[in-house]
Amino acid sequence: MASTEGLVPITRTFLASYYDKYPFDPLSDDVSRLSFEIRSFAQDLLQGLPPTQGESLLIQEADSQPPHKIDENMWKNREHIEEILFLLERSHWPPLLQQPSTSEVAEFATICGRLKDKFQRILRILASFQSRNSERVFNTVMTYMPQDFRGTLIKQQKERSERNKQAEVDALVNSGGSIHDRYALLWKQQMDRRRQLAQLGAATGVYKTLVKYLVGVPQVLLDFIRQINDDDGPMEEQRQRYGPPLYNLTKTVLIIRLFLSLAWQRFEAFKLNRHQISVLEEAVDVYTSEFERFINFISEVFANSPFFISAEDASMFETRKSDEYNEITVPAGKSYEVSLAVESINSYIAWDFSLVQGKMNMLILPYRRYESDQGNFSTCMAGHYKLIWDNSYSTFFKKALRYKVDCIPPVLDSAESNEVEG
């Protein structure tokens, strides 16, 4: 069992610094260009025949923004790829394509076979990535768990849970569930598991005691699973940094699926021309190559990303972040204020330029002109404080303001410290 002493969960600030080492080269401009062209072709197919209800839902999804989650977009890509592979199965081709009567149609049938091969390959790459990443996360977690019968029980419980989830998926498929239904269930299972883990991390009272001491889950791991997927938690940095290129790829594969779906239903009335077929083939080439590049890239990022860091490192990264100054311009005749809440008693607030106004409009410092680089004061009570930079005395000249606010906890002497611990 790996030691967790002195460790804390990764923070968003740490991940920002870590991700700086892994910049993702922008997607090829061809991604957006080809997506636009394919979407235009799809729109042309709708001119003579209005969309069905199912096609309308697909159009609505194609014209909406993809979900703001890395893992959900991975599942979305996998779902759309499987839907495209379903369309590219020879038995699901339009009758005229299954029995081509012209050389042009026969050539397109050959191209469809090549497209199928490319989508099957990228599906294998994606499924392998998801499987390896899931296994890596579990194995990493297990290194911090007791290496006795409790660890064995956890592994057995995971295997049993996986079998139960797979049985649930199989039952859905056997009852006639669609590809979309299957992936909706898979995502629901993942979110249910995530909620259960978050609840486990937020456990209190007797249940928390059981989890920590009987099951052997260390506190730092409970903290990790409670906060890692918060909307503004560490993973938001990942979503902001690497989400946009993946979201664009999600939209691209969805547009390809939309185009094929519409083309199959209208194949007799609207035969595809050479230009449309050429653009489709190019779009599939660009999508599969760029998606493979993204998967390989994110695999390396995930493989080297830690779950925990030392408390000293966490403090260092937060300190670096707090060293950043805010800069504004205060116009002549105007004032600028910053509100903050002080929750700890006898803490200290340091700032660079200042007039401070506290609770019930009680002035902490006299209201007068101050030079820059001034201002330390001790709060007398918890509450809401305002830092006000007033330039209203100036009729003509604006002021450039560069400031930083730090809340410094009190330093207790040894006697007070013993009292608190007792």
Contact (Cβ atoms closer than 8 angstroms) between residue 346 and residue 379: yes
Query: How many Cβ atoms from other residues are within 10 Å of residue 201's Cβ?
Result: 20
φ, ψ for residue 405, nearest 5 deg: -120, 125
Write the pLDDT tens digit of every residue in 320-349: 655 555 656 667 666 666 555 544 333 333
Residues 63-89, mean pLDDT to the nearest whole number: 95
Residues 84-109, mean pLDDT to the nearest whole number: 92
Query: How many Cβ atoms from other residues are within 10 Å of residue 69's Cβ?
Result: 19
- Quickly tell me which residue has 């991390």 as its tokens: 201
SS (H, E, C) 305-364: CCCEEEHHHHHHHHHHHHCCCEEEEECCCCEEEEEEEECCCCCEEEECCCCEECHHHCEC
Write the pLDDT tens digit of every residue in 165-176: 999 999 999 999
In this prediction, residue 376 carries a pLDDT of 58
In this prediction, residue 136 carries a pLDDT of 85
> What share of the chain has pLDDT > 90, as a percent?
41
**Running DSSP on this structure, what letter comes out for residue 407?**
E
Which domains occur in the chain, in start order?
7-145+218-315 (no CATH), 325-408 (2.60.120.680)
Amino acid letter, residue 257: R
pTM for this prediction: 0.70
Residues 121-138, mean pLDDT to the nearest whole number: 92
| Of 402 and 76, the one with more pLDDT | 76
Give Cα 350 to chain centroid, integer Å.
35
Write the pLDDT tens digit of every residue in 291-325: 999 999 999 998 888 877 777 777 666 666 555 55
In this prediction, residue 294 carries a pLDDT of 97
In this prediction, residue 357 carries a pLDDT of 39
The whole-chain average pLDDT of the chain stands at 79
Residues 398-421, mean pLDDT to the nearest whole number: 54
Residues 186-215, mean pLDDT to the nearest whole number: 69
Q: Say if residue 224 is exposed, middle or buried (CB neighbours under 10 Å; 0-12, 13-18, 19+).
A: buried
